[in-house]
Amino acid sequence: MSEVRDGEVRIDLTEAADAALRFIGVIHTPWSDRKECPRQGRIDGPECRVEIFDPWVPALAGLEAFASIELFYWLDRSRRDLVVQVPRHSGQPSGTFALRSPVRPNPIGLSRVKLERIEGNVLVVRGLDCLDGTPLVDIKPDRCDFSAKD
Ligand code: SAM
């Protein structure tokens, strides 16, 4: 678990109301150390392999039509008890919900990634920013039609 820095505020967590997430796969990336892991992914970043577990492989049908998809993942090595954080890059205190930090009550990460190809039960993508072995929670096509309109 990461340190609590000066200026950060942690709380004692009550027992979680269990949402019973199902991990549908695991993400393989080149990064096993946070120091090497990008803060946000880049579309020209390295290829990463997103392995989908049985029985979810048939749920990929049709996904190959999308060049861009959204991946939701569980930032499993995060602490979850900070309400105010001091990001290293800014040094300024900020509320957790004003940050995209991995430290949050429910550590869900979201990246829009480029889908390079599908090899059986593996999505090959670019644009990720998570550690090797990060559990996958969901996949959605990047379809502007489904987004809120101004
Ligand atoms: N792109 C996602 C988002 O905006 O929701 C995640 C952004 S978060 C700033 C990315 C950082 O989370 C990485 O640089 C790394 O420090 C950390 N991280 C990546 N994988 C993690 C994991 N499995 N558990 C805990 N922290 C992780």
Which pLDDT tens digit goes with each residue over 16-55?
777 889 999 999 999 999 999 999 999 999 999 999 999 9
- What number of other Cβ atoms are within 10 A of residue 87's Cβ? 16
CA 62 to ligand 1 center in whole angstroms: 28
Q: What is the mean pLDDT of residues 7-13?
A: 92
Domain boundaries, the chain: 21-78+86-141
Residue 146 reports pLDDT greater than 60: no
* 85 Cβ inside 6 Å of ligand 1: no
Looking at residue 148, what is its pLDDT? 63
Testing ligand 1's pocket by substitution, the residue of 2, 23, 34, 76 carrying the most ligand atoms inside 8 A of its CB is 34
Is residue 77 within 8 Å of 131, Cβ to Cβ? yes
Sign, CA torsion 48/125/71/63: negative
Is the shortest distance between the CB of 100 and ligand 1 below 6 Å? Answer: yes
pLDDT at residue 150 greater than cutoff 70: no
CATH of span 21-78+86-141: 2.40.30.70
Residue 109 CA, closest ligand 1 atom number: 5
104 in the Ramachandran plot: left (φ > 0), alpha (ψ -120 to 50) or beta?
beta
Q: Which residue has the higher pLDDT, 89 or 46?
A: 46
- Chain position carrying tokens 């109301």: 17
